[in-house]
């Protein structure tokens, strides 16, 4: 249930809830969109919509939720209070919410009301589900995914920086799905110039991410797709801070030191919870060298080239390997 909110609830976590009475599911719901009702609200509402004796059933029910119910007034009232007011006697919770205003307080409120609380059920899966949310809260930065394609013999792009497609149409569609699930996608100046990417989700159904371009001296021509005003776009530079329609120019004072860290912190301040870094080689290596990444997703094409710019190198073995059309997708997770 929680996963159904992917791409729609950020910077909130994905949360699902199921209500069971006498071994039967009587209600279910999930957090559908940021600023709208939380999972527990939708699950309880679902019980009332489908059962004439909802009040009686809830008094004998167990509510299951993957994340601790909130205990404070935010954009919506506290879910813990709703559970208490409906006299649900038992709550099963996957993991605690690390957000300072909630962490343990929702559980404490339920227990103080006499509700039996069972914690830490499938905790690893619950933590993995909301790894973007937890990264933003605990590390004050977005969850960062590095993505690129390379040939079988390790080349990333042509020497002359011209555009040459490596991966398959199946891989391209998957990348567009990924973009719909993450908050933002980032490229460097050279990639914007060579590929003129749109950085949207035209091959998938979903919302477009925020486009981010690193252009230190604002040298990119404004007739490129990233300036077409169809999506919110951020241009990191060292010349100006300004807003032109959907394009936000953000000045960074220091491009020579800790650039990935500066970008990540600025995005955190803007409530951008997850980021795909799509290149090019210089930009990807910058994030790799800083250790500032959580996943690397690499498509390996059956193509071989005689020469080219070498792809970034990752140490160790991939934690996941799968076939995507004619390509192989390898995924690494940063354990540091």
Is 72 known to sit in a ligand binding site? no
* Domain total of the chain: 2
Residue 29 tokens read as 């719901």
pLDDT of 33 over the 90 cut = yes
Is 149 known to sit in a ligand binding site? yes
Active site residue 56: no
pLDDT number for residue 101: 64
Among the residue ranges 98-102, 106-110, 318-322, the one predicted with the least confidence is: 98-102
Report helix angle 259-269 to 281-290, nearest 10: 90
Q: Residue 78: in which H helix or E strand, if any?
A: none
pLDDT of 76 over the 90 cut = no
Is 79 known to sit in a ligand binding site? yes
Give the integer Cα–Cα distance in Å for 251 and 216.
9
Same domain, 44 and 79: yes
Q: Which of 112, 133, 154 is the last residue of a domain?
A: 133
pLDDT number for residue 72: 67
Is 305 known to sit in a ligand binding site? no
CA angle 91/95/97 to nearest 5° reads 105
Tens of pLDDT along 96-105? 987 766 677 8
SS3 82: helix
Among the residue ranges 135-139, 155-159, 225-229, 238-242, the one predicted with the least confidence is: 155-159
Residue 13 belongs to domain spanning: 2-133
What CATH number is given to the structural domain containing 256? 3.40.430.10
pLDDT number for residue 77: 75
pLDDT number for residue 102: 67
Same domain, 184 and 206: yes
pLDDT number for residue 78: 87
**Which of 40, 68, 181, 182 is labelled catalytic?**
40
Tens of pLDDT along 274-287? 999 997 889 999 99
**One-character DSSP codes across 211-265:** EEEE-TT--S-TTSGGGSSSS-EEEEESS--EEETTEEEEE-S-SSSSHHHHHHH
Q: Which of 103, 133, 163 is the last residue of a domain?
A: 133
SS3 189: helix
Same domain, 196 and 61: no
Same domain, 82 and 192: no
pTM of the predicted structure, to 2 decimals: 0.91
Same domain, 155 and 98: no
Q: Which of 133, 168, 197 is the last residue of a domain?
A: 133
Is 179 known to sit in a ligand binding site? yes
pLDDT of 320 over the 80 cut = yes
Same domain, 219 and 273: yes
């Amino acid at each position: 249930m929680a996963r159904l909110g992917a791409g729609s609830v950020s910077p909130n976590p994905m949360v699902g809830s199921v209500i069971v009475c006498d071994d039967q599911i009587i209600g279910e719901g999930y957090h559908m969109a940021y600023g709208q009702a939380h999972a527990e609200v939708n699950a309880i509402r679902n019980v009332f919509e489908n059962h004439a004796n909802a009040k009686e059933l809830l008094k004998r029910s167990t509510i299951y939720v993957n994340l601790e119910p909130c205990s404070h007034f935010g954009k919506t009232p506290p879910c813990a209070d709703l559970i208490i007011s409906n006299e649900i006697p038992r709550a099963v919770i996957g993991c605690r919410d690390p957000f300072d205003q909630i962490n343990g307080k929702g559980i404490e409120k339920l227990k103080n009301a006499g509700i039996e609380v069972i914690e830490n059920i499938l905790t690893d899966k619950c933590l993995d589900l909301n790894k973007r949310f937890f990264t933003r809260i605990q590390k004050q930065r977005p969850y960062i995914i590095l993505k690129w394609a390379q040939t079988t013999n390790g080349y990333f792009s042509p020497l002359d920086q011209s555009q040459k497609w490596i991966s398959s149409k199946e891989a391209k569609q998957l990348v567009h799905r990924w973009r719909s699930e993450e908050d933002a996608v980032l490229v460097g100046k050279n990639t914007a110039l060579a590929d003129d990417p749109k950085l949207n989700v035209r091959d998938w159904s979903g919302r477009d991410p925020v486009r981010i371009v690193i252009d230190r001296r604002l040298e990119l021509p404004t007739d490129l797709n990233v300036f077409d005003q169809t999506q919110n776009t951020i241009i990191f530079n060292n010349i100006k801070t300004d807003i032109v329609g959907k394009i936000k120019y953000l000045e960074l004072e220091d491009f020579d030191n800790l650039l990935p860290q500066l970008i990540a912190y600025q995005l955190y301040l803007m409530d951008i919870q997850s980021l795909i870094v799509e290149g090019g080689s210089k930009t990807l290596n910058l994030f790799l060298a800083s250790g500032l990444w959580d996943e690397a997703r690499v498509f390996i094409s059956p193509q071989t080239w005689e020469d080219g710019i070498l792809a970034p190198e990752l140490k160790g073995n991939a934690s996941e390997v799968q076939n995507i059309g004619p390509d192989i997708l390898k995924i690494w997770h940063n354990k540091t």
